[in-house]
Each structure stands twice: as C-alpha cells, then as structure tokens.
Chain A
Amino acid sequence: MGFELTQEYILGHMNYWLFSVLMMTGLYIVVAKGNLVKKIVGLNIFQTSVFMLYISTGKITGGTAPIFPLDMEVDPNVIYSNPLPHVLILTAIVVGISTTALGLALIVRIQEEFNTIEEDEILEIERAIVLAENAIHGDSMGGRA
C-alpha cells in the first residue's frame, strides 16, 4: 500500500469512513427489513449520507459559503468553497423526494390490493396466486406456469 497511517491521514479521511458507515446502515435497512415503509426510509438515509459524502469533497479548509457580499466587492483573498457539488446535490435532493413520493404512493396501492405491506406476506400471497392459476390453467400450458 502506498500510504502511511499518520494522524493527518486518518483525520483527513475520517469523514469518508463515517459517511460510508452511515451509507451501510441505510443499505442494511433496505436489504434486511421486510416492511416496505421502512425500506423507503432506509433508502432516504442512504441517499442523504451519499449527499454528505459528496458535499464533503467540496469543502476547502478555511473557506466560506460560496455567496459574495451584497455589493459584489469580491475580496481576492477570501477562499470560497466549491459551489459545483452544491448544485448537483440540490438536484439530487429534489429527485430523491420525487422517488420517495412515488414509492409511498405505490405502497398505498399495494396495501389496497394485498392488505399487507410486509414483504414476506406479499411473496406468500403471490406464490398462492401462481399455484392457483397453475391448477386451473396447468394442462393448457404443459403443466408449468
């Protein structure tokens, strides 16, 4: 490996590692939990921690928010943090809320059709439907659904 484990290195990379831990918590909620609403909340946690990781790459030590003073007298000695990641993450936040809204609407419809929002029960109901259809139409389809 081409790096030394100095204190400066650890402090300089601690933010990436902390946000990776947050990301993995969100991913765990999406993968492991069966309730659909909780999966959507876990997805939100995942998205927000990705945003944090991205914005932290745009921060400059000693910089300030990328907003000029009101009379546009820009002092060339002032360091501004990079505004480009902020723009991209603004778009990403709005896209994230759109996806969440659509996902929650789908969950409401699923509740209406299956009367449950637990993933295990939905799989059971779907399996029962497939078996019932197989029993009815099995001969015409060669014995397999």
Chain B
Amino acid sequence: MLILTAIAVVRMHSLFAVAMLSGVFSLLSALLFVTLDAVDVAFTEAAVGAGISTVLVLGTLALTSRFEKPTKRSPIIPLFVVFVTGAALIYGTLDMPNFGSPDAPAQTHVGPDYLERSVEEIDIPNVVTAILASYRGYDTLGETAVVFTAGIGVLLLISGFSRRRRRDDDDDEESEET
C-alpha cells in the first residue's frame, strides 16, 4: 500500500491530489509504526504528517499553482541514479541482523540499560518520555531550538512585515516628489 501511494505521488499532476496522498502516506506509515511497537512515534507521525504537513502544503498550493507542468527532461539519468543508490543500499543491508532478533547489536548496549535504570531512577511508566526528557534531555533542548528557528525563519520570510515597510517607503517617496 505504501509503495502504491508513493508511485501514485510520482505519476499525479494535480498537486491537490499529491497533498492528499502525502497525508494518506503519513497515516499508513503511522499504522506501520504501531505494528513495530513504536507507539509514541506513530502518534507523532500521525499528528505531524497527516495534520500539520497537509495543512502547510495546501496553504502553499493556495498561494502558488494547482497543477504540475509536465517536465520535458528525460527520466533516464534520475532512474539510473536511483537504481545505483538502491543497489548500494541493498548491498549494505546484506549483512545486517535479521528483523527482530534479540541479540542484534542495537539491542545489547544502551537500550536495555535505560529500561532497567529508569525503573529506580525516574520511576515513570513511559520509558520513551523518560529518555527524551531526562537521559537525552540535551538533545530535546536542541530540537526545541530547531522548531523555534523554523518558526522565526517562516515569520521572517512570509509574514508580510517587509511589504508593509516597503509600502510606507513608497508612500514617503511619493509625498516627497509631489
């Protein structure tokens, strides 16, 4: 289903349909995250991907065009690049541990250690929040700063402050000329 949605995004020319399909893709991936036992991630992906992202893309469509013009370039070079990269990725995953094996290196060092330590030290049921806010709290501070910076960036770009100032300058120039 996910692959079909992604291929549909490739083929569609109506950008409104592309926005809706990206929301569908996010919801389906949230379902996948739940089956992979990642409930916090599924919650965030559903809220952010299917909620905010769709609203932002639709807002952009209202300010730009609704359709994609068909491109005249040939798809040979991008297909070649994609195949080479995909082959390299698959070659890299050939000696990774099997899906779900309990003695993979990812499961043996810090993960179980956090699970054991958080019972005595932090004593809250949701281990993901405990790691996010306490054991890796510094990373979360950086992430909040990233959200802050993105908000400021968008405000600087399109909040309309500069247009008001430019209009005031034009009015001043006109009044000086007359």
- Are chains A and B touching directly in their complex (CB below 8 angstroms)? yes
State whether B106 touches A67 (Cβ < 8 A). Answer: no
Closest CB in chain B relative to A83 CB, distance in Å = 5
State whether B119 touches A13 (Cβ < 8 A). Answer: no
Q: How large is the interface on B (under 10, 10 to 19, 20 to 34, 35 or more residues)?
A: 35 or more
Q: How many residues of A contact B (CB 8 A)?
A: 88
CB interface residues, A 54-95, toward B, < 8 Å: 55-61, 63-70, 72, 74, 79-87, 89-91, 93-95
Q: For residue A3, which residues in chain B have a CB less than 8 angstroms away from its CB?
A: 94-95
Identify whether the interface residues of B are mostly helix, strand, loop, or mixed: helix
**Complex alpha-carbon distance, A132 and B175, angstroms:** 33
**Complex alpha-carbon distance, A136 and B131, angstroms:** 61
Q: Which 9 A-B pairs have the closest CB atoms?
A: A12-B98, A98-B150, A61-B100, A32-B78, A82-B111, A16-B93, A81-B37, A35-B68, A25-B6
Residues of B within 8 A of A (CB): 2-3, 6-7, 9-10, 15, 18-19, 22, 25-26, 29, 32-33, 36-41, 44-45, 48-49, 52-53, 56-57, 59-61, 63-65, 68-69, 71-73, 75, 78-79, 81-83, 85-86, 89-90, 93-102, 104, 106-107, 110-112, 114-115, 119, 123, 125-128, 131-132, 136, 139-140, 143, 146-147, 149-150, 153-154, 157-158
